[in-house]
Amino acid sequence: MGYDRDGYEKAGCWNRKVLRCINGTVAEQGMRRIRTNQELREPYNDLDIVVDIKQKRLGWFGHIVTMDQGRTVKKIFESKPEGSRRGRPRFR
């Protein structure tokens, strides 16, 4: 299963956007400026939403692997799709 690198970059961008909204701006010499990425990371000890998402996926994968064979999620996980591709055709 391949994951879109662009999706992780978007999640990181969203994370910084939320942190900027929460923390606000900085006043320097009578002017306001937005916080840098480093200034946003410092109070949270480098908490990164992308790393957290990856850890949760791995945890869920480990949970599925140890499930009983009769569980629906396990059956779907181990199934092999048949037939042709459905949905919108790829853009060429």
Q: What are the tens digits of pLDDT across the range 39-77? A: 877 777 756 677 878 889 999 999 999 999 999 999 988
Share of the chain above pLDDT 70, in %: 88
Q: Which of 19, 6, 8, 1 is nearest to 53 (CA)?
A: 8
When pLDDT is cut at 50, 70 and 90, the band that residue 1 belongs to is: very low
Mapped onto helix, strand or coil, the DSSP state of residue 28 is: strand
When pLDDT is cut at 50, 70 and 90, the band that residue 8 belongs to is: low
**What per-residue string of b and e applies to 19-57 under the rule 16 or more CB within 10 Å gives b?**
bbeeeeeeeeeeeeeebeeeebbeeeeeeeeeeeeeeee
Whether residue 41 contacts residue 78, with contact meaning beta carbons closer than 8 Å, is answered with: no
The answer to pTM > 0.75 is: no
Provide the residue ranges of all domains of the chain, joining segments of one domain with +.
1-46, 48-79
Q: What is the mean pLDDT of residues 11-16?
A: 79
